[in-house]
Every structure is written in structure tokens, then in C-alpha cells.
Structure 1
């Protein structure tokens, strides 16, 4: 009677290859999907009209930021600090860790106002939200304003704190023509104009569990490469070909900002240039 012995040899090589690499491919897909899910993301905020001294902006899923009075009525009488408060609400936030007092961002001796940054950065359990301070100055021949973005970190079980303050935008108009001779000297372009605009974006990378940020700026001046430290009427008369807007290469730059746990702040990969001609009113 013939019998069949059990198959004692290993499966064919292609079968081994199949069983060897399917688990690795699955793990690779899982790791990629996990990385994508953990990537920081920037959301736009819909800013509402201010009501009763409260500024409010929200994402589509009702995560909101607000600037509101620090106290009113009995709360002030009980000793709560006065001034504006930056608040983060929604998303099951713990109110104890969702309020930041903005007093240190404002100068009592200058014409400063507050507004909301219309974006929000989410990463893991953390959020970066922004408040913008706008400073204005008036001159006899013009005026100036500048806006600084302050990023505030909201992390689990920590009081909110500012991690980055960078120039966001600025506009300066100075000098004027006070005589017909001045008009001829300046070829009719009596004012010096300076403009500065910057943007903040995500790189997709992390440093110390915080998103790495990319900062880009562009600065322009008119007419031509003027300077606030020089008297424009002391130079040669302007010609029509001089009446143009030019980009300042020094103050049109890019920096990467990484979070430094030691200072609890974002640090640029290299120092920013002196752009006070543009950013100081």
C-alpha cells in the first residue's frame, strides 16, 4: 500500500518572499499614514465683527480665539488684572490653560491697538494662535504704522506663553515738498515711501516637538533706494527714471524658526538684518 509522506521541505522561494515583505509593506504604510496624521496644519479663521469690545475668530470646526476685556464688574473689584485677554475656546479646552493676558504686548505710552491673526496652527495636542499689535505715529509730512505678530503657544497643562514676535507688516510715508524748489529737486515725488510685508508658513518638520516655521519678508522703497537716515533733498535732483519702486534685497529675506526648549521661544537659523527703516514708525 502506497502512502504519502508529509512535505518536509521549505515552501518555494517566491512564497517566502511574499510572506517576508507583506508585513514590512504594511508597517511602512502605517508609519507613513501616522506621519501624515501628525503633520502640523495651518487653518484659516473667520473673523467676526467685534461686539461689546470682544474680537472673535473661529475655524470651521468651532475652535475659536478671542480678545476680550480682562475683567468687568465684580471680577475687577475682586482683584483680577485689568486689560485685554487672549482666549482660546472650543475643542474641549481646559479654561484654566486657555487665557493669556496681553498687557505685556502693549506699550502704555504709544498709540497701539490689538487685532487677531486670522490663522491657527495645530499640531498634536498643541496650538499656536496669534495676536497682532499695531503701532502708529504721525509726522508733519506723513505718518507710519507697523504690525507685529505675536505667536502664543497653548500646550496641555501649561499656562499659555509667547513663543515668537516678528514684524508682520509696515508702511512709512515721510518727507514732503515745502517749496517749488523742493518740487523740482524731487521731480514731483515729494514723499519717501517704505513698505514691508512678511508671511509665516509651516515646513512640515518638527523641532523639540514644535513645528518648524518659515518666515519670508519683502521690503520696498520709493522713489528708488531711499534711506531714512539721509536727507533726500541734499542729494542730486531726481530724474524721471529715478521715480520707481525698488526691492530692498537686505530686508527681503527668509528665515527658519525652530523652538528652543531652554528659552521657551522660537530661534531663527541666523540673525535677522536691521530693517528698522521699514518696521519702526
Structure 2
């Protein structure tokens, strides 16, 4: 799971519930233990840095060196600089949220969005994977990667290769796969590291679409199939808890294989 190269200082729930979880405009920003999930916004003094509302924590990524730096403020010194592994087709961005940990000296969880895209004849798409990295404010330990999850996907595959295909599919000449996920705090956590709620919603258009199925088998679509349809196998909800043995977050049950939606 870990994607850090080094530190410079050394099965599914019911669909209505998933829809509610993804649509929640204001999830609880704090759990009972005092861990807090808060937004990061561009700093007026340093637009390249994203900061908490109180300006206590800021983060930014140097694109040239693929280095994540965490700062004590919009113009403050770095408390950690982490060189990130980066694939050739990846772009990196700071996740615009941060988990501030309640335990004394525990620091924060900073997120890195790993975005990938691909294009091919008649189609293409992009996906985003989230990596959470724990950073300590006193440099007492090197930053560590604690969680990696799929966050977003949109894939389009060419589906018409003739006039007959166009007619049979009623002009719907692309298979489309979308995936959206939310990561929020589990508010009932009363002590220790935060737990997270992870909810996903995957949709396929048409509903029969599968990247492992030859497109010609999806001919003669009905009007009722000309709408994106939730894929219940890849629309799920999990609770993620910190595992002291592995020093990473683990889901309460395994995540399904949803490569159709999360691999460009």
C-alpha cells in the first residue's frame, strides 16, 4: 500500500443509503474523540499551498520533484517533506481535506490525489486514487502512508462500429462507467485514531456494459436501458479502522474488485 519513497527526515449496503451518504452536504467534521476532518483552501500569501481555516497547517506539492511538503502556516517552515513515487501517466494534487488527529503529538493526515488518464480510439477516461499520509508536527517520526483508496473514475469505451450498431444502440455509441466515493469521519469514535466511513457509487451505461464483455453483445438496447444504472456490486459502504500491527487503515470487510470503474 505504501507509495512513499522516503522522508527527508529520516458487500454492499442498500443503494438508498449509499446515495444519502454521497449526497450529504455537511458530514460531521469531528468525532467523539476530537479528531477533525476539515477543508483545505488556497492561502492568500502562497496560492500553491492549501491551508486549514486557522492557517495552522498547510500543504503543497512541487510538481518538478513530486515532493509533498507540509508547513506550519502559509509562510511558515516545512515540518515534513516527502518525495512521492509517481508513475509517468500520473499527476499529483493535495486532497482538499485534512484530518487533524486529537491525540497529543499525533499530527495530521494529509491526502494526495493520484490522477491518471488514458485515451484510445473512440474513448478514454481518468481515475483518481487517494493516498493518506500521516505527518507528525515535531519531526519525531518520518511520515508514513496509512491508506490508499479509489476516489473517482470516468471511463468511456467506443461501442458503435457500423450504421447497424448506431441503429441497434439508438445512438448510444459509448459505454460509460462512472465511480464516485466519499471519505468521512465515523462520528461515534470515542477514543484513539479516527475511523472513516467510505461510501461509493458506481454506474454503468448501458446497465449491461462490462469492459470484459465484447461490445457487439450489447446490441439492440431498449429505451429503458438508455440511462446510467447503479452497479450494486461496486456501490458499497465500509468502515475503515487503524490497525496498529500494520500501521495502516483496514476496511471492516474486503473491497470488491471494481477495475471497470477505477482503472483507465
Give the TM bin, normalised by the shorter chain: 0.7 to 0.9
CA shift for structure 1 position 264: 1.3
Instruction: Calculate the TM-score normalised by the size of structure 2.
Output: 0.78
Counterpart in 2 of 1:78?
none
Instruction: Determine the C-alpha separation between the residues in 1 that align with 2:221 and 2:122.
Output: 19
Instruction: Determine the C-alpha separation between the residues in 1 that align with 2:146 and 2:154.
Output: 25
CA displacement, residues 205-237 of structure 1 (integer Å, 9 cap, x when unaligned): 559831111111000011223111111322441
Corresponding position: 1:100 with 2:110:
no
User: Which 10-residue stretch deviates more, 251-260 or 123-132?
Assistant: 123-132
- Cα RMSD, aligned residues only: 2.6
CA shift for structure 1 position 47: 3.1
Instruction: Determine the C-alpha separation between the residues in 1 that align with 2:228 and 2:32.
Output: 44
Report how many aligned residue pairs link the two structures.
227
Q: SS at the partner of 1:237?
A: coil
Corresponding position: 1:177 with 2:131:
no
Corresponding position: 1:87 with 2:80:
no
Contact kept in structure 1, 2:208 and 2:218, CA below 8 Å: no
Alignment of 1:1-281 (within 5 A): 38-47=33-42, 55-62=48-55, 63-68=57-62, 83-90=65-72, 97-102=79-84, 104=85, 106-108=86-88, 111-124=89-102, 125=105, 126-155=107-136, 156=138, 157-206=140-189, 209-281=192-264
Higher relative contact order (CA 8 A, sep 6+): 2
Contact kept in structure 2, 1:97 and 1:160, CA below 8 Å: no
Q: Which has the higher helix share?
A: 1
Instruction: Calculate the TM-score normalised by the size of structure 1.
Output: 0.74
- Where do 5+ consecutive residues of structure 1 fail to align? 1-34, 71-82
CA displacement, residues 59-111 of structure 1 (integer Å, 9 cap, x when unaligned): 121121111257xxxxxxxxxxxx221111116xx968522111x2x113xx1
Larger radius of gyration: 1
